[in-house]
């Protein structure tokens, strides 16, 4: 069997989650709710080996993320190693703690691009959502990134607390000279799943914001590229998650656990292999976890006999699990799913919460809340 599986497509995209440590506390963070449980971090040499092995297999896009990757003291060294191997490396950062000196060191080491996330277009809201006073600094970092010749990508995660700022967010990105603006509607995993009633915008809010963003796209064509990541709760078909399970993306968590998608750690009884125990190639080709949802054999109806399965691969496994309790079910976002009503219900619940005057507070992503969740 192992021999046959070697015909798998190789990974193209490697996401290196260097650490779960982060000075921010975003309530939509995609890190696991119990991230404090995973204390160990791969050593510098382990990361270098992982980068080398994945590059040999064909990975070329590399994301350094976390948590906050800047908290790793060996970041520059890893960037240098990635450059030597021929990766295109992306630093995905909150910008917190990024100095001009560090930006220059990273440039010399061969970093290709820095993506800075900003939480909102106003200081008050940014600092509230980030759980940390960081707005001024982020703006400054964005300017420095540009000054030092990197393509500058601003990323703003969109949800109910900031969606009304869409016009100001667009104007801010343009004023900062962003080459790319990623408007990422919240994906409801991890902490965002927990806070969904408070974060999910209403359909009207979505539609208004999207129309504003699309119009702006034309206005800034040729100057700033806008990536609009659609939220799929208001669609009739799910997203083609990860371009198909274990076909393109490989995530390595801080402790060395390899994941076909960065949320897969939350799937139950899903024994994800660790790079401390196996080579990246063995993990990719032969591990149970990576083969679990490959191809179409695992599908249930209605996906199994659906003529659209090669388009969306049945949707997202983590979303299917979070919303139906069954990771092999049809993604309930699909209107053909017998459990599509679950999505209608959660939209209605969030809407009720949006219209009520006494919403419960957001649960911020920090070790206190992670600890509390654990003892629940």
Partner 1 sequence: MTLNPEQLLTFSPLHRLQWEEVQQKTVILYPEGMVELNQSSAEILKLCDGTRHLAQLVQELETTFETSGLTADITAFLEVALDNGWITQN
Q: Say how far apart CA 166 and CA 185 lie, in whole Å.
A: 12
Site string for ligand SF4, 28-67 (x = CB under 6 A): -x-x----------------------------------xx
Report if residue 186 touches ligand SF4, rule: CB under 6 A: no
- Give the other-Cβ count within 10 Å of 296's Cβ: 14
Residues 6 or more apart whose CB falls under 8 angstroms from that of 71 comprise 19, 21, 22, 23, 97
Nearer to ligand SF4, 254 or 273 (CB): 254
Residue for token pair 């896009």? 61
Question: From the CB of 17, what's the least distance to ligand SF4, in Å?
Answer: 9
Alpha carbons within 13 A on the beta-carbon side of 228? 17
Q: Which does 309 bind (CB under 5 to 8 A by kind): partner 1, ligand SF4, none?
A: ligand SF4
Q: Is 127 left (phi over 0), alpha (psi -120 to 50) or beta?
A: alpha
| Helices 100-109 and 75-85, packing angle to 10 deg | 30
In order, the DSSP letters of 215-258 are: HHHHHTTTT-EEEEE--GGGSSS---GGGSTTTSEEEE-TTSBE
Site string for partner 1, 64-103 (x = CB under 8 A): ----------------------x-x-x-------------
Q: Which does 83 bind (CB under 5 to 8 A by kind): ligand SF4, partner 1, none?
A: none
Q: Say how far apart CA 264 and CA 374 lie, in whole Å.
A: 18
Nearer to ligand SF4, 85 or 158 (CB): 158
- DSSP letter for 182, please: E
Question: From the CB of 286, what's the least distance to ligand SF4, in Å?
Answer: 27
Site string for partner 1, 27-66 (x = CB under 8 A): ------------------------------xx-xx-x---
Report if residue 336 touches ligand SF4, rule: CB under 6 A: yes
The window from 49-57, 270-278, 328-336, 344-352 that contacts ligand SF4 (CB under 6 A) reads: 328-336
Number of H helices, E strands in the chain: 16, 9
Q: Which does 308 bind (CB under 5 to 8 A by kind): partner 1, ligand SF4, none?
A: ligand SF4
Interacting residues toward partner 1 by CB under 8 A: 10, 12, 57-58, 60-61, 63, 86, 88, 90, 112-113, 115, 149, 151, 153, 179-180, 222, 225
């Amino acid at each position: 069997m192992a021999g046959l599986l070697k015909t798998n497509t190789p990974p193209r995209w490697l996401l290196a989650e260097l650490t779960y440590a982060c000075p921010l506390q975003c309530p939509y963070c995609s890190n696991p709710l119990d991230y404090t449980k995973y204390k160990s971090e791969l050593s510098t040499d382990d990361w270098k080996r992982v980068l080398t092995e994945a590059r040999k297999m064909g990975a070329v896009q590399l994301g350094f993320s976390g948590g906050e990757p800047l908290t790793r003291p060996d970041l520059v060294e890893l960037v240098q190693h990635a450059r030597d191997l021929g990766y295109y490396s992306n630093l995905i950062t909150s910008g917190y703690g990024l100095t001009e000196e560090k930006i220059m060191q990273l440039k010399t080491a061969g970093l290709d691009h820095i993506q800075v996330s900003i939480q909102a277009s106003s200081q008050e809201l940014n600092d509230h959502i980030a759980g940390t006073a960081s707005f001024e600094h982020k703006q400054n970092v964005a300017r420095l990134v540009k000054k030092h010749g990197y393509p500058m990508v601003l990323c703003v995660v969109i949800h109910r607390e900031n969606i009304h700022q869409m016009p100001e967010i667009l104007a801010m990105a343009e004023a900062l000279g962003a080459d790319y603006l990623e408007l990422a509607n919240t994906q409801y995993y991890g902490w965002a799943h927990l806070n969904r009633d408070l974060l999910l915008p209403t359909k009207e809010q979505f539609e208004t914001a999207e129309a504003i963003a699309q119009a702006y796209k034309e206005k800034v064509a040729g100057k700033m590229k806008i990536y609009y990541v659609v939220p799929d709760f208001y669609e009739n078909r799910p997203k083609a998650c990860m371009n198909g399970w274990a076909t393109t993306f490989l995530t390595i968590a801080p402790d060395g656990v390899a994941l076909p998608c960065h949320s897969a750690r939350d799937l139950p009884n899903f024994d994800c292999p660790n790079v401390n125990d196996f080579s990246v190639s063995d993990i990719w080709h032969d591990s149970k976890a990576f083969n679990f949802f490959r191809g179409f054999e695992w599908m249930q109806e209605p996906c199994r006999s659906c003529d659209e399965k090669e388009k969306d691969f049945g949707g997202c496994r983590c979303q299917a699990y979070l919303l139906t309790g069954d990771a092999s079910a049809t993604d309930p976002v699909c209107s053909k799913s017998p459990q599509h009503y679950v999505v209608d219900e959660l939209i209605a619940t969030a809407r009720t919460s949006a219209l009520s005057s006494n919403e419960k507070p957001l649960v911020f992503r920090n070790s206190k809340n992670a600890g509390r969740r654990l003892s629940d």
